[in-house]
Amino acid sequence: MVIVYFESRETWSSYCEQVATFANEDIYMAALPALQKLASQLNCIVTETLAED
């Protein structure tokens, strides 16, 4: 399972928000370009955590 977060780029206002969960890493990789584009529009970066099912 892949848990996806948007993290702010601002140093003065740091935050992290969970935005998606994927059961399959291949699907996550297919969605990643769209997630990165949205994160960029929100002045954020995409981070993820791999979790056991």
Q: Is the predicted pLDDT of residue 45 greater than 90, yes or no?
A: yes
Of 45, 33, 36, 41, nearest to 8 by C-alpha is 45
For 1-29, what is each residue's pLDDT tens digit? Answer: 999 999 998 767 788 999 999 999 999 99
- Predicted confidence at residue 5, as pLDDT, reads 97
Task: Say how many domains are in the chain.
Answer: 1
Residue-number span of the structural domain to which 6 is assigned: 2-50
Q: Residue 22: exposed, middle, or buried by beta-carbon count in 10 A (0-12, 13-18, 19+)? A: middle
- Predicted confidence at residue 15, as pLDDT, reads 86
CA distance 31 to 14: 25
- Predicted confidence at residue 14, as pLDDT, reads 80
**Considering the entire predicted model, what is its pTM?**
0.86
- Predicted confidence at residue 9, as pLDDT, reads 84
